[in-house]
């Protein structure tokens, strides 16, 4: 199970989440829109990382950008052998603008790993991931995990234009089948995706779907999952303060046993059951 | 060896640093051993289930934050069953924060949480009193006194009254809380504030308004802690923007006996750990034997707080 | 060409940006041509001579400041003789800020400054009322109403009531000011706060406490401006932590008709100049014809302020 | 008269004080305790500078040092030909620590020139200045002015130790007689200074005293000034917010016509009549 350690039966929980100042090894553009940040992380931290989990980053100040709260970022990659932790981010506002200025040797305070990652059940052999933009950062380590467990993965990567596609080589390198769709080519709309997925299901079959926070994709996969009885998981985002589950600011509504419940994205998530997720 | 222990109305804390309600929970034990804290203070609970406010529930404002979490609560039964037992594994005293919409509901909850394993009850009287005009109990001395009387009768545990900064009558409210039976004052809760996203023209909080916490609140909370310490004879627990050992020393000098750390824990989850260690080092360096020797040592030249308040009001 | 002009109770301002009382004086004309401002607002004066508070009168607190200047005043005669004539050389309307220890003294001064060359009177009712318990008039609706009635009878000039954030009853105080005869509300004055030098254990202000101004005050003042705009039918002039054109836009969207800039001028004496130019550019860029089109356009989903306040109070 | 321009008779005052972002040319230690900061200033600004005036500096942020208010600094030197403005400062707290990190090419926002500078009356031929520490920064341009006006200056420079003496060469270079006194040599106490000054008065004579904010020196010079009917001026310090005269935070008490009046250090000062100044 790819979840965080539960409190120990013996009573007091043991520390399993780390707040550390880490050295930046690299911080470089991946394409015109995304940056990859690589930091050096200690073994005990990397040992606890799981695909789908995230870190809470204390972004430095940079000029008039003075981010105060931490910023959540998915684990893009974690490499215990190399001792590195990777993030893939898009410059959005004050926090990510400040991240952009980090140079090798600078230090970055991170808190993590946090949250519950992806679950790959024993009998899920053929996985399909469908993601776009920053979502590819969140889903990338799933490919690593699938590879490790010897499962087959089809990665459907969506983008506005072909030159903005990301992680394609990464997925291929890990043995995944990659299908690219773009707005520019007119292949990324729901109708096209639906027929594409129907093709995969009718072909070798699909045991589970994985996706990231887009209402459009969620609705599509919920419909197809119900139609074919295919389970799935979705990684969601929400504003966060503590990142640990203490403040209850990061809730989203979910359908559970007929009722609507508020769950914390940082704690019960960021990965949730796809059918329980609600459009927003 | 310096002595960090303090006494809050008969309850001895091994050090004066504890979390602020709503910014702490069992989950912090996954970051460090929370046994080191002066006390454990739970998120405010209500008797019944509450969903809390619409999202977004937090936003940042110039180096501080606003929140409108809105006291989501699983209700008292779930709390007694799941939360209280968790803390029984610790020696650190457990302080339970409660709230109610009416004085009677509040008092009933107060009785219900007066169970073994609970060392003190923090009564969050900064919440709205729906029997009056929806203003928080602690905005006025009269409503403060009335709710405290009922709470006092509901429990034998020490009662810590948590005050609001949303008032022009802090000393009067503090005295009313003392007269109503409070054993200590927690000063203070968040200050009502607002932020708007000028691009979307929507409030940055789903609930329109929320409470300001973090560094911006510090000079206001410090003033209130000073006023409360002067106005009453019960211990004051300072709270608002505390992030460093120097901040703690400032509150103690102003008259606080202990402090609570809130928002700083979101920024640095180990903030309290660092503060306790730095506080010890500070006392050693300054040759101060006990942290209690700092309490209320502000050199205020015997000015009467009343006069000062008048002249300061611009 | 965008239109920056606004109307405050019959007085047209060429733009919505003016200085806050006590942070502006003739001397600023040595830095830039102050004719460009929406209005000139003088430092609060009292009838008689006042020395002001002991020094130090200012200190900084985490990116904002405290002051306890204490309204030093040369008295009304010197003011009428020296200050009012200076501003006669400008087209920009002159707003005179006044204060008094009692309602009658306040009203007498109000009549005395109702002279030619004065376009409006800002009544600083955030100052202490020594007839009651020394609390500022604007802390309570009742004392606000009473002093405003007397001031209203003392002049035919527009009266701008300057409110204090040191209250839990902002909407009620705003309504009391309106009912008492205010033509506009200035929201808000400084918030009572304190800082202590932990080395010397002395308060950082000679007067022990002082008023918080600057960025930390912004979310509080914005909330008050919103509350006042909802609670009354008179124009609201936002004030508190405003330092950029974006801040101005945020206050206008919240419901303010104009704004005052205080502490920001200390940091950048040309702040108001920059803000006016940036505001014009902002409107051009966004294709907004008149700055008035921004006022009160917050998308607040018809939530009732009362309910919201209740739920927000933590 | 070395004062700021008064409002013009025609009505509206003309701008005479400048807020400008200036380039740092140098920022170097003078000795173990003091730093000299040289910025490039425009001619209109330098043309208005007078000895004894000050600038209000918007110190940058540097790490956790985030000074908010401006910091007042005396003009240490102003050189219209070179186009530079000099400050001499001691690292005290957040603001000066931040100044310390300025490097050539960085920009510093300054406001000034501000306040009223030193006055040298027509018939004051023999001037004596007595200063210590940072006070030497404030008094240094007086030497330049005395030199320009062809007056004779005796500079008594005081310090804890000989190696901390400052501006000695500078004063000599401008033709001043320099007398150094130090705590280490036991020559800086009031008794010694008094006999030294009595010597100067008995010798060629003294027409005016100039000094800076030390209670001890003020009391000495007030006493000697009264005894011998020698006028004098003192430069004083006080916490400032606006620096322009608007906020009234920077007042100090002065004796004027038998009464005590509060005057603004930034506006009526920082240079005041020595006999009117009150010990603090
Ligand atoms: C679990 C999780 C994983 C994420 N992983 C990634 C990732 O791998 N790569 C990436 O580029 N982005 C990721 N995001 C989104 C990322 O957190 C935001 O883009 C970032 O916080 C924006 O901060 P800012 O200061 O640049 O923007 P601003 O808009 O200035 O941020 C203002 C505030 O809003 C919050 N905020 C803004 N956008 C989001 C968002 N989408 N989700 C949550 N909070 C937000 C910020 O944290 C901050 O508190 C993730 C979000 C979550 C919740
Ligand atoms: C007219 C004038 C001229 C001055 N000239 C010089 C000079 O040439 N060289 C020099 O080294 N220093 C000079 N000073 C003192 C200098 O302003 C302070 O050392 C400096 O402001 C300290 O700021 P800080 O942030 O480093 O220290 P902090 O102690 O952190 O400052 C905290 C606050 O106190 C104020 N403050 C602290 N000390 C003083 C002081 N002595 N006077 C006024 N405000 C103070 C600061 O401006 C700031 O607002 C002068 C002061 C005045 C008023
Ligand atoms: C996210 C959040 C939730 C809070 N919840 C509560 C609460 O449930 N009960 C309460 O009394 N105070 C609550 N508070 C207020 C804090 O306990 C504290 O009084 C306030 O934040 C000021 O302290 P700080 O500046 O150190 O955060 C909350 C504050 C925050 C930021
Ligand atoms: C130094 C100083 C002096 C002030 N004097 C007055 C005053 O005389 N009368 C008044 O109504 N407000 C006075 N104020 C309050 C300001 O007018 C303004 O309401 C407050 O500073 C908030 O605005 P800001 O954050 O933009 O400074 C003063 C503020 C400061 C900082
Ligand atoms: S961010 Fe605090 S509970 Fe999720
Ligand atoms: S610093 Fe504002 S008046 Fe002198």
Selecting from B168, B211, B311 the residue whose C-beta is nearest the C-beta of C167 gives B168
pLDDT at B115: 97
Instruction: From D71, D92, D212, select the one nearest D141 (Cα to Cα).
Output: D212
pLDDT of residue D3: 40
Give pLDDT, residue B304: 52
Residue A17 sits at the chain B interface (C-beta within 8 Å): yes
d(Cα D50, Cα D16) in Å, to the nearest integer?
13
Note the pLDDT of residue A93. Answer: 94
D27 closest CA partner among D103, D93, D106, D83:
D103
pLDDT at A10: 55
ipTM above threshold 0.90: yes
**What is the share, in percent, of chain D residues with pLDDT greater than 70?**
96
Distance CA D43, CA D40 (A): 10
Mean pLDDT over all residues of chain D?
91
Q: Which CATH class is domain D126-234?
A: alpha beta
Ligand 1 atom closest to residue A70's alpha carbon, by position in its atom list: 47
CA dist B261 and B275 (Å) reads: 10
**C:D CB pairs within 8 Å:** 111
Chain C: residue whose CA lies nearest to D58: C267
Answer whether C239 contacts ligand 4 (Cβ < 6 A). yes
Span B172-189, pLDDT tens digits: 999 999 999 999 999 999
Summarised one tens digit per residue, pLDDT across range C189-248 is 999 999 999 999 999 999 999 999 999 999 999 999 999 999 999 999 999 999 999 999
User: What's the confidence (pLDDT) of residue D10?
Assistant: 55
- Pairing between strand D208-212 and D232-235? parallel
Nearest residue (by CA) to ligand 6, atom 3, is D245
Ligand 5, CB cutoff 6 Å, lining residues:
A 240-243, 245-250, 264, 266-267
- Scanning every residue of chain D, which has its alpha carbon at the shortest distance from the alpha carbon of C25? D246
Question: Does the annotation flag C74 for ligand binding?
Answer: no
* Contact between B314 and C69 using a beta-carbon 8 Å cutoff: yes
Q: Which of B110, B127, B228, B239 is catalytic?
A: B127
Predicted confidence band of residue B38 (pLDDT cuts 50, 70, 90): very high
Atom of ligand 2 nearest to the CA of D137: 8
The closest alpha carbon to B194, from A69, C251, C236, C234, belongs to C251
CA distance A142 to A164: 21
With tokens 């509206």, the residue in question is D12
pLDDT score at D27:
97
Dist. CA D166–CA D169, nearest whole Å? 8
Kindly indicate the confidence band of residue D216, based on its pLDDT and cuts at 50, 70 and 90.
Answer: confident
Question: Ligand 1, closest atom to CA A237?
Answer: 53
Exposure of D11 by Cβ count < 10 A (0-12 exposed, 13-18 middle, 19+ buried)? Answer: exposed
And the tokens for C223?
């909330």
Tell me the two tokens of residue C199: 């080395």
Name the pLDDT band for B81 (thresholds 50, 70, 90): very high
3 state SS of D110: strand
* C window 46-75, beta carbon within 8 A of B: 53, 61-64, 66-71
What is the least distance, in Å, from the CA of B5 to any CA of chain C?
Answer: 20
- Provide the H-helix boundaries in chain A: 43-48, 94-100, 135-149, 168-173, 190-202, 215-228
pLDDT of residue D65: 86
- Closest chain A C-alpha to B233 CA, distance in angstroms: 33
Question: Is residue B308 scored above 70 in pLDDT?
Answer: no
pLDDT beyond 50 at D1: no
The strand pair at B236-239 and B258-261 is best described as parallel
**Ligand 3 contact via B158 beta carbon (within 6 Å):** no
Q: Tens digits of per-residue pLDDT, C22-52?
A: 999 999 999 999 999 999 999 999 999 998 8
Identify which ligand lies nearest to the alpha carbon of C43. 4
Chain D: partners with 3+ C-beta pairs within 8 Å = C
Contact B168 C139 (CB under 8 A): yes
Least confident of A274-278, B153-157, B300-304, D56-60: B300-304
In short, whether C216's Cβ falls inside 6 Å of ligand 4 is no
Number of H helices, E strands in chain C: 10, 16
Token output for D141: 């341009």
Which residue did the predictor score with more confidence, A174 or D17? D17
Annotated domain spans of chain B? 6-312
Tell me, in angstroms, the distance from the centre of ligand 3 to residue B163's CA: 12
Say if the Cβ atoms of B65 and A68 lie within 8 Å.
yes
| Residue D10 neighbours by CB under 8 Å, 6+ apart | none
pLDDT band at B264 (very low <50, low <70, confident <90, very high): very high
Quick one: how many helices (H) and strands (E) in chain B? Answer: 10, 16
Does residue B167 surpass a pLDDT of 60? yes
Residue B55, preceding peptide bond in cis (omega within 30° of 0): no
**What's the number of CA atoms in the CB half-sphere (13 Å) around residue B274?**
15
Distance CA(D153)–CA(C134), nearest Å, equals 56
Q: What is the pLDDT of residue B310?
A: 45
Residue where the block lists tokens 């409210």: B173
For position C303, what pLDDT does the model report? 57
B83: its two tokens: 């939360």
Q: What is the pLDDT of residue C78?
A: 96
Would you kindly state where each structural domain of chain D is located, as residue ranges? 18-114, 126-234
Q: What is d(CA B111, CA C54) in angstroms, rounded to the nearest whole number?
A: 50
Q: Do B32 and A15 touch (CB under 8 A)?
A: yes
Q: What H or E segment, with its residue span, contains residue B112?
A: helix B103-112
Ligand 6 centroid – CA B55 distance (Å): 45
Is the pLDDT reported for residue D25 higher than 50? yes
Give the span between the Cα atoms of B68 and C312, in whole angstroms.
6
How far apart are alpha carbons C261 and C39 in whole angstroms? Answer: 11
pTM score: 0.96
Q: For B132, phi and psi rounded to 5 degrees? A: -90, -130
- Which residues in chain B touch residue A241, judged by CB atoms under 8 angstroms apart? 58, 65, 67, 266
What tens digit of pLDDT does each residue of C235-247 get? Answer: 999 999 999 999 9
Measure B73 CA to nearest chain C CA, in Å: 13
Q: Which of these, D130, D114, D92, lies nearest to D265 by C-alpha position?
A: D114
Q: What is the CATH number of domain A18-114?
A: 2.40.30.10
- As beta bridge partners, residue B66 has B59, B212
User: C98, C115, C121: which is closest to C47 by C-alpha?
Assistant: C98
Q: What is the pLDDT of residue A216?
A: 87
Give the Cβ contact number of residue B103 at 10 Å: 20
pLDDT of residue A9: 43
pLDDT in tens, chain A (280 residues): 334 444 444 578 888 999 999 999 999 998 778 899 999 999 999 999 999 999 999 999 888 889 999 999 999 999 999 999 999 999 999 999 999 999 999 999 999 999 999 999 999 999 999 988 888 888 989 998 999 999 999 999 998 888 888 888 889 998 899 999 999 988 989 999 999 999 999 999 999 999 987 888 899 999 999 999 999 999 999 999 999 999 999 999 999 998 999 999 999 999 999 999 998 7
pLDDT > 80? residue C182 = yes
Q: Is residue B110 among the annotated active site residues?
A: no
Q: How far apart are CA D265 and CA C292, in angstroms?
A: 42
- What is d(CA D5, CA D121) in angstroms, rounded to the nearest whole number? 18
Across residues B50-55, what is the average pLDDT? 90
Mutate to test the interface with B, among A21, A72, A239, A267 (most CBs of B within 10 A): A239
Ligand 5 pocket: which of A53, A239, A245 to mutate (most atoms within 8 A of CB): A245
Would the CB atoms of A239 and B27 count as touching at under 8 Å? Answer: no
Strands D152-159 and D126-132: parallel
Does C238 sit in the ligand 4 pocket, CB within 6 Å?
A: no
Phi first, then psi: give them for residue D80, nearest 5 degrees: -55, -40
Q: Which of A5, A11, A13 to mutate to test the interface with B (most CBs of B within 10 A)?
A: A13
What is the CATH architecture of B6-312?
Answer: Alpha-Beta Barrel (3.20)
DSSP helix/strand/coil, B89 = coil
- C26 vs D contacts (CB less than 8 Å): 7, 13
Name the pLDDT band for B302 (thresholds 50, 70, 90): low
Across the range B70-94, mean pLDDT stands at 95
Which of D19, D239, D249 is facing C269, going by the closest CB pair? D19
Nearest CA in chain A to B24: A246
Q: Looking at residue D8, what is its pLDDT?
A: 45
Kindly state the DSSP code that residue D277 receives in the 8-state scheme.
Answer: B
**For position C37, what pLDDT does the model report?**
98
Closest listed ligand to the CA of D269:
2
Please tell me the predicted confidence (pLDDT) of residue C307: 45
- Cα(D113)–Cα(B82) distance, integer angstroms: 67
Ligand 1 binding residues, C-beta < 6 A: A 54, 67, 69, 71-74, 87-90, 92-96, 134, 137-138, 237-240, 265, 270; B 60
Q: DSSP letters of D3-25?
A: -PPPPPTTSSPPP--EEEEEEEE
Name the more confident of C78 and C311.
C78
Please give, rounded to a whole number of angstroms, the shortest distance from the CA of C286 to a CA of chain B: 10
Does B64 contact A4 at a Cβ distance shorter than 8 Å? Answer: no
- Predicted confidence band of residue D23 (pLDDT cuts 50, 70, 90): very high
């Amino acid at each position: 199970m790819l979840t965080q350690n539960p409190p120990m039966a013996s009573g007091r929980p043991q520390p399993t989440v780390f707040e550390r100042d880490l050295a930046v090894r690299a911080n470089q553009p991946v394409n015109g829109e995304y940056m990859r940040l690589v930091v050096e992380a200690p073994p005990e931290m990397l040992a606890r990382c799981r695909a789908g989990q995230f870190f809470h980053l204390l972004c430095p100040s940079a000029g008039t950008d003075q981010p105060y709260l931490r910023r959540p970022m998915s684990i893009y990659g974690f490499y215990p052998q190399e001792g590195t932790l990777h993030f893939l981010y898009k410059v959005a506002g004050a926090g990510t603008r400040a991240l952009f200025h980090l140079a090798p040797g600078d230090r970055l305070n991170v808190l993590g790993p946090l949250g519950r990652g992806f679950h790959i059940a024993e009998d899920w052999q053929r996985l399909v991931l469908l993601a776009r933009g920053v979502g590819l950062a969140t889903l990338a380590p799933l490919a690593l995990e699938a590879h490790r467990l010897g499962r087959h993965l089809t990665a459907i990567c969506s983008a506005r234009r072909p030159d903005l596609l990301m992680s394609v080589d990464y997925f291929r390198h890990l043995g995944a089948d990659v299908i690219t769709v773009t707005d520019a080519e007119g292949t990324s709309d729901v109708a096209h995706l639906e027929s594409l997925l129907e093709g995969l299901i009718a072909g070798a079959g699909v045991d589970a779907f994985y996706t990231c926070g887009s209402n459009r994709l969620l609705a599509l996969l919920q419909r197809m999952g119900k139609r074919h009885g295919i389970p799935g998981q979705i990684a969601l985002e929400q504003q966060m303060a503590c990142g640990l589950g203490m403040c209850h600011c990061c809730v989203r509504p979910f359908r559970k046993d007929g009722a609507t419940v508020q769950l914390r994205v940082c704690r019960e998530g960021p990965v949730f059951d796809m059918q329980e997720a609600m459009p927003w | 060896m310096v002595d960090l222990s303090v006494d809050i109305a008969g309850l001895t804390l091994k050090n004066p640093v504890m979390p602020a309600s709503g910014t702490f929970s069992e989950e912090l034990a996954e970051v460090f051993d929370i046994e080191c804290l002066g006390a454990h203070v739970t998120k405010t609970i209500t008797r019944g289930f509450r969903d809390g406010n619409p999202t977004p529930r937090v936003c940042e404002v110039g180096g501080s934050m606003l929140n409108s979490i809105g006291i989501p609560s699983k209700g008292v039964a779930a709390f007694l069953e799941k939360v209280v037992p968790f803390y029984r594994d610790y020696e650190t005293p457990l302080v339970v924060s409660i709230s109610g919409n009416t004085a009677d509901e509040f008092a009933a909850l107060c009785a219900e949480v007066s169970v073994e394993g609970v060392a003190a009850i923090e009564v969050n009287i900064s919440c709205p009193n729906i029997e009056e005009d929806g203003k928080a109990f602690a905005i006025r001395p009269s409503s403060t006194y009335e709710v405290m009387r009922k709470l006092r009768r509901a429990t034998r545990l020490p009662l810590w009254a948590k005050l609001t900064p949303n008032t022009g009558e802090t000393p009067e409210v503090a005295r009313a809380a003392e007269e109503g039976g409070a054993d200590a004052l927690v000063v203070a809760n968040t200050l009502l504030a607002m932020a708007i996203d000028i691009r979307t023209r929507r409030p940055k909080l789903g609930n329109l308004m929320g409470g300001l916490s973090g560094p911006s609140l510090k000079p206001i909370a410090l003033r209130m802690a000073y006023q409360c310490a002067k106005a009453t004879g019960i211990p004051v627990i300072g709270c608002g923007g505390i992030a460093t050992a120097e901040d703690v020393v400032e509150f103690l000098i102003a008259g606080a006996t202990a402090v609570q750390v809130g928002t700083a824990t979101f920024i640095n989850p180990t903030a309290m750990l660092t503060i306790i260690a730095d506080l010890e080092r500070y006392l050693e360096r300054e040759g101060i034997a006990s942290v209690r020797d700092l309490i209320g040592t502000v050199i205020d030249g015997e000015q009467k707080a009343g006069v000062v308040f008048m002249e300061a009001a611009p």
